[in-house]
Amino acid sequence: MIHIYILVESPFTKRDFERFGIEILRSNFSVKVFDFSNYIDSEFNKHHEVDRYVVPELKTFSNTDSLSLEIENSKNNDNVVIDYLSTDPRAFIIRKHFKIINSRFVTIQNGLIPISPTESSLLPQLKSKKFSFREIKKLIL
């Protein structure tokens, strides 16, 4: 059976349960949701009150030692990781644990702002400013 691990770094809510489609996934796959909010951002829970949605598939982690124990039995299985974690250094440690057991990754990066290649390249911007200064110089002289 294929095991699907959904990795989140914010408290798991009912909205997450619905938008991840866990009800549908659990009919054909073994699904587990790993909540790393206590590990990645423990201060968040101290300052925000969130209604956590508790389901049998949910496991909350405050360190990676317990993660190692949890996934140790999945080494010989077909594992897919749906990764909603950020680029925090602790998230890379979490990913490393799943790479050790040869998991396949689907990385989700929400909230990115697309930039066209011309906007992101510094060289065209510098050239255009240089060109502008030449034009100004021609006008002055």
Domain ranges (residues) in the chain: 2-114
- Phi/psi-derived region of residue 71, left when phi > 0, alpha when psi is between -120 and 50, beta in every other case: alpha
CA 65, CA 61: separation in Å to the nearest integer?
9
| Average pLDDT in the chain | 82
Tell me the DSSP string of 70-94: HHGGGTTSEEEEEE---S-HHHHHH
pLDDT in tens, 31-76: 999 999 888 887 776 777 778 899 999 999 988 888 888 888 777 6
Q: Are strands 58-60 and 2-8 parallel, antiparallel or unpaired?
A: unpaired
Q: What is the CATH number of domain 2-114?
A: 3.40.50
This prediction's pTM? 0.75
Query: Does residue 139 register a pLDDT over 80?
Result: no
Task: Return left, alpha or beta for 102; rule: phi > 0 is left, psi -120 to 50 is alpha, else beta.
Answer: left
Which pLDDT score is estimated for 49?
A: 77
- pLDDT band, residue 132 (cuts 50/70/90): low
Average pLDDT over residues 85-113: 88
pLDDT of residue 105: 93
CB distance 97 to 126 below 8 Å: no
User: d(Cα 34, Cα 55) in Å, to the nearest integer?
Assistant: 11
